[in-house]
Amino acid sequence: MIQNLFLKSLAILKRPPSPGGLFPFVIHFLKMIKKRCLNKVVSIIF
């Protein structure tokens, strides 16, 4: 999962940056990180 994400980001970084292509990826990445952090916080609280 992490490796796949890493390869995807590498592929995106190799391409010339286009805001249209990079923006959704960044949002998806932030959502995943937020979800992960929320899960950790919830597991710590409960």
pLDDT digits (tens, 9 = 90+) for 15-28: 665 656 667 777 88
Q: How many domains does the chain fold into?
A: 1
pTM to 2 decimals?
0.41
9 pLDDT tier (thresholds 50, 70, 90): confident
**Percentage above 70 pLDDT, the chain:** 67
- Give the largest Cα separation in the chain, rounded: 45
Mean pLDDT of the chain: 75
CA distance 28 to 1: 14
Mean pLDDT within 35-45: 82
Report the alpha-carbon distance of residue 45 to residue 41 in Å, rounded: 6
Domain residue limits at 25: 2-45
Whose tokens are 């959704």? That residue is 24
